[in-house]
Amino acid sequence: DATAHWSALMASGRAGDRRAYDRLLVETGDWLNRYFRRRLPPAHVEDAVQETLIALHHRRHDFDCSQPLRPWLAAIARFKWVDRLRLMERERAAPAGETSVASHEIDVVSCHAVRGLLCQLRPAQADAIRMVKLDGLSINEASALSGQSQSLVKINIHRGLKRLAARCNEAVPA
């Protein structure tokens, strides 16, 4: 299991094993490269990978090595992905030298809205959606973390998204 392997490499690296830490950075860098290639234009992938690896390095002492590393890394990557999307939006929308606060405000409001919607779901549905759709984990990884079968993870995602869509449709006036 890669995530347990990465946790062990992180523990060894924090204990002073430079080779283990270097190996962790290479392996997680490869995973991050695949993660960001699915989400960003090619010109932004390498920067997003490097920013995430730097964040991992700076936050490495906050990580609990008894836990799986991949979900922790995926959460960092998701934040870096959102940061990169914001940067791309500012570059596209603002003339040189200007920045937009409106984009940040929209992101904050959207995050609160999504959090509120997920709270209306059954916990298993919200967790499955959060892990797969927001954190970018595979069905296999979400299954291993949640203890649910892969089929149940898929069912929880499907039913949860269906329920969210119904809630959103209720909120829109006809």
Report residue 26 as tokens.
Answer: 């290479």
Confidence of residue 2 (pLDDT cuts 50, 70, 90): low
* Residue 154 identity (one-letter amino acid): K
Report residue 82 as tokens.
Answer: 């959102």
| Residue corresponding to tokens 């392997």 | 5
For residue 69, give the nearest of 126, 151, 18, 12 by alpha carbon.
12
Kindly report the average pLDDT of the chain as a whole number: 84
Residue 91 has pLDDT above 80, yes or no: no
What is this structure's pTM? 0.54
Query: How far apart (Å, rounded) are the C-alpha atoms in residues 53 and 28?
Result: 8
SS (H, E, C) 40-81: CCHHHHHHHHHHHHHHHHHHHHHCCCCCCHHHHHHHHHHHHH
Residue 155 has pLDDT above 70, yes or no: yes
Residue 1 has pLDDT above 70, yes or no: no
